[in-house]
């Protein structure tokens, strides 16, 4: 941490600040110039509140140098985290293909799609049971019944399953779900993250619409600080001024997070774009940029899907795409 | 709703769409040109899923014309909503001054600030008890104990009190709190909004960091759809590329929401700016733009506050500001 | 400037860097910790290229501490710049009211509006002659003929006039124009800025749609570095995700720029909002936040204006607004 | 175009609007419902000013349905534009590799890099001669002398050359430059675009930092409206709230522009990211998403480059990357 002082700082206040920092085991070095004075803070500053220091009369600004996340930080954990669930691996050079319908509609639909995506190369089955919609008048998902259909289809086809949780009290329903997804809207629902940190299931954490890389990693840190280190990070688009796509897919997230953190990174091109025609090029781009996996919404009859109709692709399109993705993966895979 | 068709739409699919809309009591008119065909949908389209129609092969795009919110819409409720709690009015030309510390620290601090802000002109007392922090290693608030101190200070000074709720299971703790605040991070926590819609307490709903005006009004609609129509909207800054301020305070929100909705609108210049020096000018600007009230963080010793130190002002500064705000209010108040 | 080094930096490279900096008259202090090493650079770092240092193998990142602008910086020029043109003052506690049509249409229209806005309290006359439109098929302004009509109307009503320049080769046409405006699109047209820096006329510089405060001040620095220090800064809205307004009016710009710089700051609520109904509340907010002036588009018949019809107000509305603005100005004016 | 009327529109005004539109050869159909009235405008609405109609008393809002660009629109020009310059093709399934230094430094450096990138697979040589810098105190390029060195190196290695123009008066210097680049800052410098529209050289047009897809295409339209239809579109990142990367590389631009327009689309991963480590993954992603080419800054000694040091890669890194890109291109190339 670096503290930039105002000109001519009050000497008593300066000594008081330095003394206080030293009681926190922070070593302070000073760079005193004509027009600015800089304090360098050395030691574990992750528990020092920047705001407290920034509010002092003698301080002009404070800048963090160390990342505030520890457990998610590649500097302290150089080796990739590899997650294995029911024999399927995420990370370690494998390409995880998470596929399934936006919303679970019924047992038959779920089983039919599960078989289709499995045949096309999917490794993990997805399906929305609790669905957050911006209007209280829209379809909100089948709930527990939807989770049951998803779990049954997963068992029938031998794939682990993933679904999104909305609130802590739903945790009981997820006991047979293999991976729990936290949606973009809940990325900063810290109470929910802490509860999931006590679970033994992998957590797929989606980036919030206006979350920075550091904020996403701090949300992962919330989960990991409670003991659950099996976190998968997911880029799904951010909100910008461009409205042609639902969100702006931030492809840089993939190589950046892979360098800052040891956690696996997957991409969701469907929510990012909101347009079926963009799913294939964005999926291909994600793999080329180093993604460990993809989450893709697949529906046998997208135009009759109950949710997110515009962004789902057919099983045939998914099968074609899976082939392309594997080829690109082999091209860019580090030897 | 307007549906723009692709060139040369398949006639059978077009008739099928028109028929389906008519079963939903939507009347359809056609504008057929050489290079585009437009369908005009007339009737209550708030329950028609735009995505479903947008996903059809023959459709190029769909645009909503009616606002998707009904209960929050001024078109259907032309008169201003006025909220009265313990004799204090929000709306109806009154200027609500909500003041208090970022975080409740203890009984004495809370009472001391309550007396100071009351004397300076505050009408409602605020204090944070459950505090969402981006780091799991930061101070997270006193919790229930903090709420108790806030309630006691409110009773002692005769002011209604407001505090932020984080999760549904905390609702029991809020039984003596007069107004429940939903923070920006929870603006799309629809489960929480629905629960609060069953409460009989006014809800102050803060705009999310990346939420549009329409999304904020849809979140109000979530609360109102369950019966609780006492919702106060609050602008607290949005996330943009500018990083000098914590967020970008969107002053237009105030006149825009006042025209689109009948709900009262207040502003939070502290979180919007993250800088104490900006609180007074932004507060003055808010009143000049027509705000029904302000929420301001006041602390007797801002540099020793336990949270948000950089953006709190002293009781003396608050007293000065309150005078200016009242004068501006009288200048711009509609006769 | 602070340089954060990677762990275990190569000693020879480090000494080479320090030596190079010392040849540039920069003094270097070192803070060496276990997990990070910080170099503090003291002296005039405004001519040190951050990118060059940031690209070195041993460097993790570089942060600037001193502002890169000098002539526009209040730290080095504590007194407000006051601009006087033809007896009209901008700055020094005066409220400059710049008004006139979006586009000059002809001599009669220009004179009629000039008389109307003068009567309503305007102090400077505006009128667009060269108009940048996003479509090549839209009306692009009357050009030189429009400037002539503006100048005549200014002389007839005794007001200085302002109009926007688009390219360097137009400079000759502006010899009778009193203040030259640089639009948002040209804020980073550095060649144009340098030419205007050789002029003796005040320059009104609008913030670009995606320009930070620092970038706006650096553009002012471009003008000032050539000798012309009469620069007026103008907030006119930035581009964000919100599309209800044309742009998001960033009210914080006003107090922030007034604190960082000594230059006068005015606001343009018409382009910021793109909606006539928002002009009055945003203008009032600007004055409450400390603006030195406003630029407002006024047209006797807004719905028949040739450009920007949606955001112009009538002379009567402008007269009412001017009264309100003066009252607010007196309320917030520093004694 | 669709015009949404306010409730109970004045009948005389409505008839007047309809009549006026008919004089412009626009056919009007009406959809009249209880709570909204819609006018469908059929015909060539590209020359109808939306703002004029939107400002009418009886109108609530106006929405464009047809794209405002014609010559750049794939609907009217279904076949891909293919650009050939000195035997090198851009478009038509070829992968254009534009490489060279950020800034031309001298004849020797330019020739050395030209030979290195040619050997590594580059097809077009780039080099900055006029360089826009945010500080007036930074290196601004060698100017005409730099262009001469670039042209000489291009001839020596048999590659066409590209460089950026800053102002119209520089056009004479570009007579031996094969492709003229318009930078992000000048994307809305409409005067410059119109001049370039009269040139017979291909124009590479970079997307502005806050420009929408439609605005980029409208800028292309400005060039094309003057007769020069050889325009290459270039994605180079947009400005968002994320500051870890210089800009946010919007990968969706590539497939979106390829579908909306027939013009070739290339990507510049260097300026988009501002980080050398991200150049390779973003370049790979661009090709996977369907880009027709890439522009990459290559420097034999990036840490001693005079400009943009942080984002340039070495010739060896470029050679490796070029191999990967060609393999991905063959994987995703439409058969």
Instruction: Give B146-187 pLDDT, tens digit per residue.
Output: 999 999 999 999 999 999 999 999 999 999 999 999 999 999
Overall average pLDDT of the D122-151 stretch? 92
Closest chain B residue to D41 measured between Cα atoms?
B31
Overall average pLDDT of the A317-326 stretch? 95
pLDDT digits (tens, 9 = 90+) for D83-97: 999 999 999 999 999
Q: What is the rounded distance in angstroms from the CA atom of residue C101 to the CA atom of residue C116?
A: 11
Tell me the shortest Cα–Cα distance from B23 to chain C, in angstroms: 33
D27–B contact, CB cutoff 8 A: yes
Overall average pLDDT of the D181-210 stretch? 97
Overall average pLDDT of the D225-230 stretch? 96
Mutate to test the interface with B, among D39, D40, D43, D208 (most CBs of B within 10 A): D40
> What phi, psi does B326 have (nearest 5°)?
-65, -40
- Residues in chain A within 8 Å Cβ distance of C35: 66, 75
**Direct distance between the N- and C-terminal alpha carbons of chain D, in angstroms, rounded to an integer:** 38
pLDDT value at A100 more than 50? yes
Overall average pLDDT of the D63-88 stretch? 91
Helix (H) or strand (E) holding D269: helix D269-273
Overall average pLDDT of the D288-309 stretch? 84
Q: Which two tokens stand for residue A71?
A: 């457990």
Q: What is the rounded distance in angstroms from the CA atom of residue C71 to the CA atom of residue C73?
A: 6
Chain C 28-47, residues with CB within 8 Å of chain D CB atoms: 46-47
**Average pLDDT of every residue of chain A:** 91
User: Of the segments A45-54, A81-90, C25-34, C52-61, which one has the largest average pLDDT value?
Assistant: A81-90
CB contact under 8 A, B139 and A49: yes
- Residues in chain B within 8 Å Cβ distance of D42: 31-34, 36, 38
Overall average pLDDT of the D208-213 stretch? 97
| Residue A94: band (very low, low, confident or very high) from pLDDT cuts 50, 70, 90 | very high
| Residue A34: band (very low, low, confident or very high) from pLDDT cuts 50, 70, 90 | low
Q: What is the rounded distance in angstroms from the CA atom of residue C143 to the CA atom of residue B206?
A: 47
Number of Cβ pairs < 8 A linking chain C and chain D: 110
Q: What is the pLDDT of residue C28?
A: 85
pLDDT digits (tens, 9 = 90+) for B140-149: 889 999 999 9
HSE, CB side, 13 Å, CA atoms: give it for residue C292. 25
| Residue D170: band (very low, low, confident or very high) from pLDDT cuts 50, 70, 90 | very high
Query: What ipTM goes with this model?
Result: 0.91
Tell me the shortest Cα–Cα distance from A329 to chain B, in angstroms: 30
- Looking at per-residue pLDDT, the higher value among B23 and B119 belongs to B119
Chain D 258-317, residues with CB within 8 Å of chain C CB atoms: 276, 302-305, 307-310, 312
pLDDT value at B287 more than 70? yes
| Residue B206: band (very low, low, confident or very high) from pLDDT cuts 50, 70, 90 | very high
Closest chain C residue to B289 measured between Cα atoms?
C281
Q: What is the rounded distance in angstroms from the CA atom of residue A54 to the CA atom of residue A63?
A: 9
| Residue B335: band (very low, low, confident or very high) from pLDDT cuts 50, 70, 90 | very low
Percent of chain D whose pLDDT exceeds 70: 96
pLDDT digits (tens, 9 = 90+) for A262-306: 999 999 999 988 899 999 999 999 999 999 999 999 998 776 666
Say what the alpha-carbon torsion angle C299, C303, C304, C310 is, to the nearest 10 degrees. 70
pLDDT value at B3 more than 60? yes
Q: What is the pLDDT of residue A43?
A: 78
Percent of chain B whose pLDDT exceeds 90: 68
Q: What is the pLDDT of residue B161?
A: 98
Angle value at C-alpha C227, between C223 and C231, nearest 5 degrees = 45
**Average pLDDT of every residue of chain B:** 91
Q: What is the pLDDT of residue D305?
A: 64
Q: Which of D36, D65, D240 sits opposite B36 (nearest CB)?
A: D65
Mean pLDDT by 10 residues, chain C (335 residues): 83 86 84 73 78 80 83 93 96 95 94 96 96 83 95 98 96 97 96 96 98 97 96 98 96 98 97 92 98 95 69 93 95 70
Other CB atoms within a 10 A radius of the CB of residue A226 amount to 16
Q: Which of A65, A66, A241 sits opposite C240 (nearest CB)?
A: A241
Q: Which of A133, A168, A210 sits opposite B210 (nearest CB)?
A: A210
C249–B contact, CB cutoff 8 A: yes
Overall average pLDDT of the A59-76 stretch? 86
> What phi, psi does B124 have (nearest 5°)?
-140, 140
Closest CA to D322 of D292, D288, D291, D283: D283
pLDDT digits (tens, 9 = 90+) for A107-141: 999 999 999 999 999 999 999 999 988 888 877 88
Q: What is the rounded distance in angstroms from the CA atom of residue D291 to the CA atom of residue D251?
A: 9
**Average pLDDT of every residue of chain D:** 91
Closest chain D residue to A329 measured between Cα atoms?
D328
Classify strands D179-182 and D161-165 as parallel, antiparallel or unpaired.
parallel
Structural domains in chain B, CATH included, are: 2-63 (3.30.70.1140), 83-332 (3.20.20.70)
3-state secondary structure of A128: strand
Overall average pLDDT of the A23-28 stretch? 84
Overall average pLDDT of the A32-38 stretch? 70
Overall average pLDDT of the D256-283 stretch? 95
């Amino acid at each position: 941490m670096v503290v930039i002082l105002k000109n001519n700082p009050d000497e008593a206040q300066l000594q008081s600040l330095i003394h206080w920092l030293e009681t926190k085991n922070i070593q302070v070095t000073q760079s005193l110039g004509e027009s600015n004075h800089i304090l360098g803070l050395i030691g574990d500053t992750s528990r020092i509140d920047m705001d407290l220091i920034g509010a002092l009369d003698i301080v002009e600004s404070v800048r963090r140098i160390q990342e505030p996340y520890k457990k998610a930080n590649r500097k302290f954990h150089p080796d990739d985290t590899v997650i294995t669930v029911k024999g399927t691996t995420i990370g370690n050079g494998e390409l995880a293909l998470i596929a399934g319908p936006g919303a679970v509609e019924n047992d038959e639909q779920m089983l039919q799609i599960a078989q289709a995506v499995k045949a096309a190369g999917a490794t993990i089955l997805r399906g929305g049971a609790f669905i957050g919609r911006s209007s209280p008048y829209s379809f909100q998902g089948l709930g527990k019944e939807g989770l049951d259909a998803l779990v049954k289809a997963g068992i029938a086809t031998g794939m682990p399953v993933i679904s999104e949780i909305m609130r802590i009290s739903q945790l009981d329903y997820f006991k047979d779900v293999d991976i729990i997804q936290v949606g973009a809207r809940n990325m900063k629902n810290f109470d929910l993250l802490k509860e999931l940190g006590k679970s033994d299931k992998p957590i797929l954490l989606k980036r919030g619409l206006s979350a920075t890389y550091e904020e996403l990693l701090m949300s992962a840190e919330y989960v990991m600080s409670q003991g659950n280190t099996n976190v998968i990070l997911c880029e799904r688009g951010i909100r910008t001024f461009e409205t042609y796509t639902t969100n702006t897919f931030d492809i840089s997230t993939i190589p950046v997070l892979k360098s800052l953190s040891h956690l696996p990174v997957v991409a969701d091109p469907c929510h990012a774009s909101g347009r079926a025609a963009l799913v294939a090029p964005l999926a291909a781009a994600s793999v080329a940029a180093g993604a460990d996996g993809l989450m893709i919404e697949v529906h046998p009859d997208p135009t009759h899907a109950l949710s997110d109709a515009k962004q789902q692709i057919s099983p045939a399109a998914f099968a074609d795409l899976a082939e392309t993705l594997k080829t690109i993966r082999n091209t860019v895979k580090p030897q």
